[in-house]
Amino acid sequence: MTRKELITQINRKRSFLCVGLDSDPNKIPKHLLDFENPTLEFNKRIIDATKNYCVAYKPNIAFYESMGPKGWETLKATLDYIPKEIFTIADAKRGDIGNTANMYAKTFFETYNFDSVTIAPYMGEDSVTPFLSHPGKWGIVLGLTSNKGAYDFQFSELKTGELLYEKVLKTSSTWGNEDNLMFVVGATKAESLGNIRKLVPDHFLLVPGVGAQGGSLSEVCKYGLNSDCGLLINSSRGILYASNGINFAQASANAAKEIQQEMSEILRTS
């Protein structure tokens, strides 16, 4: 999917919501366990319930590969079920070099036909650029994450005076452009978004951590919006597990719609 196509979807739906399909077999409503593939059935119902309110879906690959071959089959079937106009993200956080990186890119862009994949940039340019050579595909580089461990390394001050995450953003932004490169920035670090926007003013940011992790949508948008919106806000648990009863899909639809309506108002007044 191109940048223009993604922006068109954002404007049409008045939404920049990404639904994380981190489908945990231990949290799937009990009545779905009678199905041959409970995770796939759960995903299909979540997609049916939320597809009018979101512009992206983000399966976390760990929840699928942990199930072995059946998990990969479930991932493929889930991806095939997502409407083609909706942006797809393989949340795989791959990070390796040379032929290995090329094979990871082939896996997610050719075998599974995702629009994008998350990448850990610790090994440098040659671990990222193989993902940027596929037309219409995106690499999403980990920039500043929302977890507690982010403070172990990402805020380390370098001899230049800049923080490590700032160095990562500035350097990696030169490996691609705003048409094929995004960055992950955690919503719980909203106070850093103003500075991040100075470093990468035109790139899209994938922002996890809104909702269950405590991030504020309004704060993220205050510092992170640009002229093209430039944000994909991910919500996983708050939508997936809005209910664990028979009505779980409707509860998920209500949760997604509530976020979309808030986003629509933010877009209207920005």
Question: Would you state the pLDDT for residue 93?
Answer: 97
Question: Would you state the pLDDT for residue 212?
Answer: 54
Question: Would you state the pLDDT for residue 216?
Answer: 82
Domain coordinates of the chain in residue numbers? 3-269
Query: CA nearest 23: which of 69, 98, 78?
Result: 78
DSSP states of 60-119 as a string?
A: BTHHHHTTTHHHHHHHHHHHHHS-TTSEEEEEEEE---HHHHHHHHHIIIIIS--SEEEE
Choose, from 44, 93, 222, 257, the residue flagged as catalytic. 93
Question: Would you state the pLDDT for residue 4?
Answer: 97
Residue in this structure with the two tokens 């948008």, named with its chain if needed: 221
pTM: 0.95
Q: Please indicate whether residue 106 is annotated as part of the active site.
A: no
Given a contact cutoff of 8 angstroms between Cβ atoms, the answer to whether 89 and 118 are in contact is yes
Phi, psi of 28 (to 5 degrees): -65, 135
Given a contact cutoff of 8 angstroms between Cβ atoms, the answer to whether 187 and 220 are in contact is yes
Question: Would you state the pLDDT for residue 211?
Answer: 62
Averaged in consecutive runs of 10 residues, what is the pLDDT profile of the chain (270 residues)? 97 98 94 96 98 98 97 98 98 95 97 97 96 97 91 94 96 97 84 89 91 72 94 94 95 97 93
Question: Would you state the pLDDT for residue 219?
Answer: 85
The CATH number of 3-269 is 3.20.20.70
Q: Which amino acid is at 131?
A: F
Coarse DSSP helix, strand, coil percentages of the chain, rounded to the nearest 5 percent: 45, 20, 35
Question: Would you state the pLDDT for residue 215?
Answer: 66
Question: Would you state the pLDDT for residue 134?
Answer: 96
Question: Would you state the pLDDT for residue 210?
Answer: 73
Digit-coded pLDDT (tens) for 132-164: 999 999 999 999 998 889 999 999 999 999 999
